[in-house]
Amino acid sequence: MASTQVAAEGQQAPTKNPTLLAWVAKMAEMTQPDSIVWCDGSEAEKKRLTDQAVKEGILIPLNPEKRPNSYLHRSNPNDVARVEHLTFICTPNKTDAGPTNNWMEPEAAYTKLGNLFTGCMKGRTMYVVPYAMGPIGSPFTKLGVELTDSIYVVLNMRIMARMGKQALDMLGDSDDFNRGLHSTGDVDPDRRYICHFPQDNTIWSFGSGYGGNVLLGKKCLALRIGSYLGREEGWMAEHMLILGVTSPKGETTYVAAAFPSACGKTNFAMMIPPPEYKGWKIETVGDDIAWMHPGKDGRLYAINPEAGYFGVVPGTNYKTNPNAMESIAKDTIFTNVALTADGDVWWEGKDGEVPDELTDWQGRPWKKGSAEKAAHPNSRFTAPMSNNPALSPKANDPTGVPISALIFGGRRSNTVPLVLQAFNWTHGVFLGATMGSETTAAATGKVGVVRRDPMAMLPFCGYHMGDYLQHWLDMQKHIAQLPKIFQVNWFRQDKNGKFMWPGFGENMRVLEWIVNRVHGRVPTQETLLGWVPRADQGLNLNGLDLASDVVAEVTSIKEDEWKSELKSQEVFFEQLGTKAPDALMLQRKLLMARLDH
């Protein structure tokens, strides 16, 4: 069937953009869908597609009284997470992708995936999904169009981005948009690829239905392509939350923070201060991604390009994250959680008693005490950010928010103290570049192995990691009022393996110290590693039942541990080869010299 006939049998294209129309026609000619539907983002469209997804068994309606307008989706059991080993950066030179990315030559990738895409949408509908990453009208917003044969993708993209007519109107006749092509194919792991073409501003994803692989605006555009565009255009695309903290006096300070997986990122973004912090307020700008640009006033401004949250469900409850629980109380798509007999959802770590019987994430009967998980460990929720009770009024501000502090943190049982401040920008970039988290036995069979994850961007950087770190260093020249940089660690353990710091809302105490440092209000103690809180004028510990020796231990810096730490960093820098920035190598040598003497 010719592409023009396909278009005729589908919906009339609501645009005259010649570049967009030609590209859609070309992709339709290759994939050969039965019809084409242009998505407008309307409520009527949402209802129509949701009803269709329910009818086809793609979505299961949840109890409308317990979970209004919410649904459960079960993915193929072989398709439940990002596939880093099948994710490629396709650049003309392998060196441009760097040693931390999988590489494929662009023409080879187009040919390989083109063979998979040919005829893959026969008997299916191609949905054209125009979307904006960032507030409509913002000069920092990037536009994309995803072509997909998945209703699940359309309904999730509607939540995660500003989707439909508003994005198409913003695009107008411009040819500056990300070209995303996706098909679930036959969901065969041996025929699954997620390919990024930075020079072409293009993403092709085949053979998966999992959000991280197929919601192309998220990790694919917002980070992998975004990081490349950021270097080319003089800004930064970062795997960071953004929050505003307002004091009882009405002073609001914005911070951005990078944490690898399982380090409490969403919890920190939506934190509720403890009772001792009456009058303080935390507001969420974003929970996962920050696009940061130098402002005309010399400050660094950040927007959250997303419009929703795609979060991990297990472990989420009213103790760990009350605001997340409120965010998923309605209008939410759950993926791979368990189903209760009365039509609600359940997952490990949820509040209340464990039900006696459930239907597990694969649709099988499950009984209390079963050795298998009822919900998949990577089960997800997709919820609009408008559901968040702590949403910042600046979340849709087209200019973004001015960032005063950048925070890096990982999961470390020792070595890294609770909080420290970098001496300067270059030292702070060194702390971010060498940050890491310890693996768990479940993941690797060996506890305590530190996996380096610079700026929490290892899986998401769209070009050579050495060039990425140099870009961080170079940004200093373009930001007159540099944010202060901090390192935190909520996960120090005692000799019995027990966490010493209570975490969660009590992290507000660390955040307050960071805010005070930003505004120059508290003195510090200088150490070999950076500035740390003073014992007499440091962290506010009022109302916290924590012995003084425990506080001393969780904030301690042990020289022997840091000598081992610096030695272990050597492998990471060697991996970067000649592109390891000289300034960061010098920071490491200076720290080694300080420790030796």
Query: Which residues does the annotation place in the binding site for GTP?
Result: 262-267, 380, 411, 504-507
Catalytic residue among 120, 195, 263, 461: 263
* Residue 123 to residue 149: CA distance in whole angstroms: 10
CB 199 within 8 A of CB 112: no
Residues in Cβ contact with 582 at an 8 Å cutoff, skipping those fewer than 6 apart: none
Which residues fall in the annotated binding site for Mn(2+)?
219, 239, 288
DSSP for 177-216? SEEEEEE-TT--GGG-EEEEEGGGTEEEEES---HHHH-T
* Residue 208 to residue 153: CA distance in whole angstroms: 11
Tokens of 63: 């109890």
Tokens of 90: 């396709």
* Residue 389 to residue 195: CA distance in whole angstroms: 37
Name the nearest CA neighbour of 223 among 207, 210, 239: 239
| Inter-axis angle of helices 43-55 and 151-160, nearest 10 | 140
* Residue 411 to residue 397: CA distance in whole angstroms: 33
* Residue 433 to residue 581: CA distance in whole angstroms: 10
54's enclosing H/E stretch is helix 43-55
* Greatest alpha-carbon span in the chain: 77
Any long-range contacts for 473-478 (C-beta under 8 Å, 24+ apart)?
473/425, 473/426, 473/429, 473/581, 473/583, 473/584, 475/236, 475/294, 476/425, 476/426, 478/234, 478/294
**Residue type for position 209:** G
Note if 263 is an active site residue: yes
Q: Compute the 3-state secondary structure of the chain and give helix, strand, coil in percent, each to the nearest 5.
A: 35, 20, 45
Whole-angstrom CA distances from 10 to 28, 126, 493 are 11, 9, 60
Name the nearest CA neighbour of 35 among 140, 129, 135, 149: 149
Identify the DSSP state of 242: E
| Inter-axis angle of helices 106-117 and 18-31, nearest 10 | 60
Name the nearest CA neighbour of 389 among 247, 284, 260, 269: 284
Which residues fall in the annotated binding site for substrate?
82, 210-212, 261, 378-380
Which residues fall in the annotated binding site?
82, 210-212, 219, 239, 261-267, 288, 378-380, 411, 504-507
Residues in Cβ contact with 327 at an 8 Å cutoff, skipping those fewer than 6 apart: 270, 309, 383, 385, 387, 388, 389
Catalytic residue annotation: 263
